[in-house]
Amino acid sequence: MITRTAIFEGHVKPGCETRFFSEIADRLAPLWAQFPHALAVRWYRTEQTDADAPPIALIQQIDYPSIEALEEAITSPQRDAARAVTLELLEMFEGRFYHVVSAANAVEDGR
């Protein structure tokens, strides 16, 4: 399994927090779920961090069965639609966002 993680490093502009996260839930999350081959979609609003951690406002993850499936998803019309909404929401965000692609390694039997 492959996971593509989007990290929104920075802060939601003051006074925009409720709208920003509502737009994520109501508009973006349903679009993410429509990406071809998406197995699971998760997004996390940061509640706490270590004192020396960079400011992370949001983490979003989508699981895919393979890197080929991921590549198809990120060139899809569904991703284009989500990207357009993301660009709108970035007006309420100060910082940057970037992606990390990782392969799963399960921890079994408490090891």
The pLDDT tens digits of the residues spanning 52-100 come to 999 999 999 999 999 999 999 999 999 999 999 999 999 999 999 999 9
Q: Tell me which amino acid residue 30 is.
A: P
Strand-pairing partners, residue 43, are: 60
Residue 20 · residue 92 · CB < 8 Å? yes
CA-atom Rg of the chain in angstroms: 15
pTM for the structure as a whole: 0.90
The pLDDT tens digits of the residues spanning 9-49 come to 999 999 999 999 999 999 999 999 999 999 999 999 999 99
Domain layout of the chain by residue ranges: 11-100
Token pair listed for 65: 């069965």
Residue 5 · residue 61 · CB < 8 Å? yes
Q: Tell me which amino acid residue 94 is.
A: E
What does CATH list as the number for 11-100?
3.30.70
